[in-house]
Amino acid sequence: MAKPKLLITRKLRSIVEERAARDYDVVLNPEDKVFSTEALIAACREVDAVLPCHSEHFNADVIKAIGPGLKIIANHSVGTDHVDLDAAKAAGVFVTNTPDVLSDATAEIAILCMLGAARRGAEGDAMVRSGKWTFWSPDFMVGRQVTAKRFGVLGMGRVGQVTADRARGFGMEIHYHNRSRLPEHLEKGAIFHETLDSLLGVSDVLSLHCPVTAQNTGIINARTLALLPDRAIVVNTARGALIDEDALAAALASGKLFAAGLDVFRTEPGGNPALAALPNVFLLPHIGSATEETRDAMGMRALDNLDAFFAGKEPGDRVA
């Protein structure tokens, strides 16, 4: 029996590509080029399955243009906002993701963003690298301490829970808003807020961990930023579309916010030049899951979902 034909759209870890080549008639992208929409459609017409990242977008028009040959989109990501799930379901295309395996890595980046923002990490690094560190005094490079502050989590899913655990290590008081309250053993003493507005009012640090939906795109905006305590810190390791970046830049420039730590942006790659121009923003290029261990696990999880599908079983991480 012929092996299913699989397109892997980006260069993955060698251990993942080797397993894929063993079990599938695999089409790789060794040069790691980004597919245009037209090239993505053409490539997907020639395969049974595609293993994409968040850099490939499968909207309704793309799914329709690919046609009936494609059977499954096995994402190398937790987020699925780059796939129109309703359109995929209507077309009979299975969609899976890779939950769980990147929670620790993304939580580490959230804490890095918090500390980098609070302790003026970007400013300090730039100063030393440019040779401009020529002065010291007790008033030099004074940042904010996070120990014993209030840590607000918007979206208490897997990543939010792990990040809250890490924040507890700093003696922070955990507050959260979620679609539903967690059971007590998962709350671990965290304080639940039924509304976002209530959470914002007590968040010395606000960390975003919710998916992007039609309802929460731009949920952090001029109105909601105004509800945060003065000189709060905003951390985003989820998706850039959660934030109105113009409003965030204004709040940072005015001093309403002390700082922000951002790993994601509305425009990726590239980021936001207005935010990059501000000294009180700690910036990273969407590397929340970028550890050897996590990228291996993500690739293997995606392949596990493909194996289940082609064995006639329900993939464990099916989302559509």
Residues involved in catalysis: 239, 268, 286
End-to-end CA distance of the chain: 27
Q: In Å, what is the CA distance from 301 to each residue of 27, 67, 230?
A: 18, 26, 42
**Using omega within 30 degrees of 0 as the cis cutoff, is the peptide bond preceding 279 cis?**
no
What three-state secondary structure class fits 208?
strand
- The DSSP bridge pattern shows strands 281-283 and 257-262 to be parallel
Distance CA 250, CA 234 (A): 13
- CB 167, CB 115: distance < 8 Å: no
Nearest CA to 158 among 113, 211, 111? Answer: 211
Q: In Å, what is the CA distance from 307 to each residue of 3, 76, 312, 318?
A: 11, 14, 9, 13
- CB 176, CB 152: distance < 8 Å: yes
- CB 11, CB 32: distance < 8 Å: yes
CB atoms within 10 A of CB 138: 5
DSSP at 243? B
Distance CA 27, CA 316 (A): 24
